[in-house]
Amino acid sequence: MKSIVQLSIKFLTMGKEEKSGGVGLLGLLFLIFLVMKLAGAGAVANWSWWWVFSPLWIPVVFGVLIYIIVMQLMK
């Protein structure tokens, strides 16, 4: 049987669980670039689509390069 203290703590913390996730800085930057490109606003309107999507692919490229370097150093 649960004690009154345990039930009180559960009631007080209900719905206050921290949630992680979300868009993040690079995702937000991508969305800003995408909206500016589609709206034809600013210098982003003249960028190649590769640069508009760069906040998504540049971290992947860095991650793969770091992985390759670490694997080569571990040989």
Domain boundaries, the chain: 23-73
CA angle 48, 52, 58 (to 5 degrees): 110
Tens-digit pLDDT string for the chain (75 aa)? 556 666 666 666 666 666 667 778 999 999 999 999 999 999 999 999 999 999 999 999 999 999 999 999 988
* pTM (predicted TM-score): 0.65
Distances (CA, A) of 64 to 10, 28, 35, 38, 59: 44, 22, 28, 30, 9
Terminal Cα-to-Cα distance of the chain (whole angstroms): 57
